[in-house]
Amino acid sequence: MSELRITDTNSSNDSKGRAFGLEGNDFVYVLIGLVAALGLYLLLNGLLHVSLGIAVVLALPILLVPAAWVLLLRHNKPAGYAEDWFDQRVNGEGWSFAVRTQPVPAKKESRA
Protein backbone atom coordinates (compact mmCIF):
# COMPACT_ATOMS: atom_id res chain seq x y z
CA MET A 1 0.00 0.00 0.00
CA SER A 2 1.95 2.92 -1.25
CA GLU A 3 -0.74 5.54 -0.84
CA LEU A 4 -4.14 5.63 0.86
CA ARG A 5 -6.89 7.06 -1.30
CA ILE A 6 -9.36 9.40 0.47
CA THR A 7 -12.77 10.07 -1.01
CA ASP A 8 -15.32 12.57 0.34
CA THR A 9 -18.68 10.93 0.88
CA ASN A 10 -21.88 11.75 2.69
CA SER A 11 -23.07 9.49 5.45
CA SER A 12 -26.63 8.23 5.20
CA ASN A 13 -27.90 10.58 7.89
CA ASP A 14 -26.27 13.64 6.24
CA SER A 15 -27.76 13.20 2.79
CA LYS A 16 -31.29 12.46 1.62
CA GLY A 17 -30.01 11.52 -1.84
CA ARG A 18 -30.58 13.15 -5.20
CA ALA A 19 -32.77 12.31 -8.16
CA PHE A 20 -33.11 14.40 -11.32
CA GLY A 21 -31.05 17.13 -9.63
CA LEU A 22 -33.47 17.50 -6.71
CA GLU A 23 -32.74 16.61 -3.07
CA GLY A 24 -34.62 13.80 -1.36
CA ASN A 25 -38.12 13.10 -2.61
CA ASP A 26 -38.73 16.54 -4.15
CA PHE A 27 -38.80 15.05 -7.65
CA VAL A 28 -41.93 13.08 -6.68
CA TYR A 29 -44.03 16.27 -6.48
CA VAL A 30 -42.91 17.36 -9.94
CA LEU A 31 -43.42 13.86 -11.34
CA ILE A 32 -46.96 13.62 -9.92
CA GLY A 33 -47.73 17.08 -11.33
CA LEU A 34 -46.44 15.99 -14.74
CA VAL A 35 -48.52 12.80 -14.74
CA ALA A 36 -51.65 14.63 -13.53
CA ALA A 37 -51.22 17.40 -16.13
CA LEU A 38 -50.67 14.87 -18.90
CA GLY A 39 -53.72 12.88 -17.76
CA LEU A 40 -55.92 16.00 -17.69
CA TYR A 41 -54.64 17.04 -21.10
CA LEU A 42 -55.42 13.63 -22.58
CA LEU A 43 -58.84 13.59 -20.93
CA LEU A 44 -59.73 17.04 -22.23
CA ASN A 45 -58.28 16.66 -25.72
CA GLY A 46 -58.86 12.96 -26.39
CA LEU A 47 -62.18 12.21 -24.72
CA LEU A 48 -63.92 15.58 -24.44
CA HIS A 49 -62.53 16.96 -27.75
CA VAL A 50 -61.49 20.30 -26.25
CA SER A 51 -59.17 22.25 -28.53
CA LEU A 52 -55.42 21.82 -28.13
CA GLY A 53 -54.75 25.32 -26.78
CA ILE A 54 -57.51 25.24 -24.17
CA ALA A 55 -56.48 21.78 -23.00
CA VAL A 56 -52.86 22.90 -22.58
CA VAL A 57 -53.90 26.08 -20.73
CA LEU A 58 -56.09 24.09 -18.33
CA ALA A 59 -53.47 21.37 -17.70
CA LEU A 60 -50.40 23.59 -17.42
CA PRO A 61 -51.07 24.96 -13.88
CA ILE A 62 -51.23 21.40 -12.54
CA LEU A 63 -47.61 20.98 -13.68
CA LEU A 64 -46.33 24.48 -12.91
CA VAL A 65 -47.61 24.85 -9.33
CA PRO A 66 -45.76 21.83 -7.86
CA ALA A 67 -42.69 22.56 -9.99
CA ALA A 68 -42.59 26.18 -8.80
CA TRP A 69 -43.11 25.08 -5.18
CA VAL A 70 -40.21 22.64 -5.37
CA LEU A 71 -37.84 24.91 -7.30
CA LEU A 72 -38.58 28.14 -5.42
CA LEU A 73 -39.27 26.94 -1.87
CA ARG A 74 -37.49 23.59 -1.44
CA HIS A 75 -34.55 23.26 -3.85
CA ASN A 76 -31.25 24.22 -2.12
CA LYS A 77 -33.14 25.64 0.88
CA PRO A 78 -32.81 24.61 4.54
CA ALA A 79 -35.30 22.19 6.08
CA GLY A 80 -38.56 23.92 6.97
CA TYR A 81 -38.00 26.91 4.66
CA ALA A 82 -41.31 26.51 2.80
CA GLU A 83 -43.29 26.24 6.02
CA ASP A 84 -41.57 29.31 7.48
CA TRP A 85 -42.13 31.25 4.25
CA PHE A 86 -45.87 30.54 4.30
CA ASP A 87 -46.05 31.24 8.04
CA GLN A 88 -44.41 34.62 7.51
CA ARG A 89 -46.88 35.49 4.73
CA VAL A 90 -49.93 34.46 6.78
CA ASN A 91 -48.98 35.81 10.22
CA GLY A 92 -46.65 38.55 9.10
CA GLU A 93 -44.27 37.96 11.99
CA GLY A 94 -42.10 35.14 10.70
CA TRP A 95 -40.20 33.58 13.59
CA SER A 96 -41.69 35.79 16.29
CA PHE A 97 -44.80 35.21 18.36
CA ALA A 98 -48.05 36.70 17.15
CA VAL A 99 -47.99 40.26 18.53
CA ARG A 100 -51.77 40.52 18.81
CA THR A 101 -51.86 37.68 21.38
CA GLN A 102 -49.13 39.13 23.63
CA PRO A 103 -49.99 41.23 26.68
CA VAL A 104 -49.33 44.95 26.39
CA PRO A 105 -46.30 45.91 28.51
CA ALA A 106 -46.79 48.48 31.25
CA LYS A 107 -45.49 51.95 30.41
CA LYS A 108 -42.66 53.30 32.50
CA GLU A 109 -43.08 56.74 34.00
CA SER A 110 -40.36 59.15 33.09
CA ARG A 111 -38.95 61.34 35.88
CA ALA A 112 -37.63 64.72 34.94
What are 52-105's pLDDT values in tens digits? 999 999 999 999 999 999 999 888 888 888 888 887 777 665 555 566 666 666
- Total domains, the chain: 1
- Computed over every residue of the chain, the mean pLDDT equals 82
**Residue 44 maps to a domain:** yes
pLDDT score of 104: 67
Contact (CB, 8 A) for 20 and 9: no
The CA distance from 28 to 18, in Å, is 11
Q: How confident is the model at residue 23 (pLDDT cuts 50, 70, 90)?
A: confident
Q: What is the pTM of this model?
A: 0.65
| Structural domain span for residue 63 | 18-101
**Residue 106 maps to a domain:** no
Of 6-10, 16-20, 54-58, 96-100, which gets the smallest average pLDDT? 96-100
Residue partners of 51: CB distance under 8 A and separation at least 6? 45
